[in-house]
Amino acid sequence: MFKNLLRRKSSREIAKDRLKILLISDRVNCSPEMMEMIKNDIAKVISKYMKIDTKSMEIQITKTGNKGRSLKNPTLYANIPILDLMNHDIP
Amino acid sequence: MSEVIVVTSGKGGVGKTTTTANVGTGLAAMGKKVILIDTDIGLRNLDVVMGLENRIVYNLVDVVEGNCRIKQAIIRDKRYPTLFLLPSAQTRDKSAVNPAQMVKMISHLKDQFDYILLDCPAGIEQGFQNAIAGADRALVVTTPEVSAIRDADRIIGLLEANEIHKIDLVINRIRSDMIRRGDMMSSEDVVDILSLPLIGMVPDDENVVIATNQGEPLVGTSTLAGKAYQNICQRVTGKEVPFLDLEKGISFWARVSGIFHKG
């Protein structure tokens, strides 16, 4: 433990972390363009009700706790910073 | 009842042909009747790894095109009475054969052999589709490297999409010294990422190069890789064999040689 704190991350850990992220997007088979379109549409809908920070919002498809390699229960995570809960533009 | 096994990896150079040669030879040494089929049309290599390159008369494409009978193309390995090779064509390309022809040819061989091993080409194009078309199960070969594991993951997805669900993982070129330093993913790491049952762990052993130079599969020899392949053969037939503890094995020998050096 202390060894890990003192020295930099081992290349083994770096490889593992990189692969885990890489394989999720490989397996989802969802193009970056499509993700961008989903993101824009979500932003549009939420913006009807509140003011959000569209520039720093993030969306991501991840695997939930299920073990095994099938992506049977993928989850779409959206991280949307709210600037103002009340959208004063609503008439 | 015969079993048709495709040996595949996605990425090239990770050890598909070496694995095919050694697993096939090991199964034959156990008395099983085995045929190895090289499906890498245009880049055949299984013949040289097996040391049978001088005995080729006809090849896979000749069989499919009807230029010869299948028996004329099959080479019998003189070292093992139950081991046979169907070589690939060197001067043609992957489009010379299609998956339907492969399925038909394999169905003719099924009643004559216990195991049919297909050495798959690298990539995911027609050569891959040809190789997996008639397979019942797959051995996916990978090395503990990011690129090989990524390609293996893609291959596993394609195998599943093609209704091949019995897939086992062979991790090749394991270097225990690097794992101990934290510079190589361990077999647990790779299994964790790919979520496949592990059927073999093969160390990075210079004897593999020596064996390939000589055209002699090293399965069954006293080398570490030879033992690892022997164990894979046992597991292919359904026997449960404990995994070689590659780390302990090497550190033990390191300790022994250390004692000798001291003395």
**Residue B150's CATH number:** 3.40.50.300
> What is the Cα–Cα distance from A33 to B21, expressed in whole angstroms?
44
Determine the 3-state secondary structure of B41 from DSSP: coil
- Mean pLDDT across the stretch B12-38? 98
For position B263, what pLDDT does the model report?
A: 39
> How many residue pairs bridge chain A and chain B with CB atoms within 8 Å of each other?
44
> What is the Cα–Cα distance from B129 to B148, expressed in whole angstroms?
19
Pick B157's closest partner by Cβ from A15, A27, A68.
A27
Pick B195's closest partner by Cβ from A16, A26, A69.
A69
Determine the 3-state secondary structure of B203 from DSSP: strand
> Helices B16-29 and B224-236: crossing angle, nearest 10°?
70
> What is the Cα–Cα distance from B136 to B37, expressed in whole angstroms?
15
Q: pTM for this structure?
A: 0.82
A25-34, B38-47, B86-95, B154-163: least confidently modelled range:
A25-34
Q: What is the pLDDT of residues B178-190, one digit of tens each?
A: 999 999 999 999 9
For position A66, what pLDDT does the model report?
A: 45
Interchain contact, B189 vs A16, CB within 8 Å: yes
Sorted by where each begins, the domain ranges of chain A are 7-84
Question: Mutate which of A1, A6, A9, A12 to disrupt the B interface (most B C-beta within 10 Å)?
Answer: A12
> What range does the domain containing B182 cover?
3-262
For position B94, what pLDDT does the model report?
A: 87
Q: What is the pLDDT of residues A46-70, one digit of tens each?
A: 999 999 998 888 887 766 544 456 5
Nearby residues of B181 by Cβ (< 8 Å), 6 or more positions away: A10
Q: What is the pLDDT of residues B183-224, one digit of tens each?
A: 999 999 999 999 999 999 999 999 999 999 999 999 989 999
Question: To the nearest whole angstrom, how far is the Cα of B153 from the nearest Cα of chain A?
Answer: 7
For position A22, what pLDDT does the model report?
A: 83
Question: Mutate which of B146, B147, B174, B247 to disrupt the A interface (most A C-beta within 10 Å)?
Answer: B146
Interchain contact, A13 vs B146, CB within 8 Å: no
**Does residue B141 register a pLDDT over 70?**
yes
pLDDT over 70, % of chain B: 94
ipTM above 0.90, yes or no: no
**Does residue B121 register a pLDDT over 60?**
yes
For position B156, what pLDDT does the model report?
A: 95
**Does residue B249 register a pLDDT over 50?**
no
**Does residue B164 register a pLDDT over 70?**
yes
Pick B183's closest partner by Cβ from A10, A67, A69.
A10
Pick A19's closest partner by Cβ from B150, B156, B179.
B150
Q: Which residues of B touch A27 (CB under 8 A)?
A: 153, 157
**Does residue B117 register a pLDDT over 50?**
yes
**Does residue B155 register a pLDDT over 60?**
yes
Domain count along chain B: 1
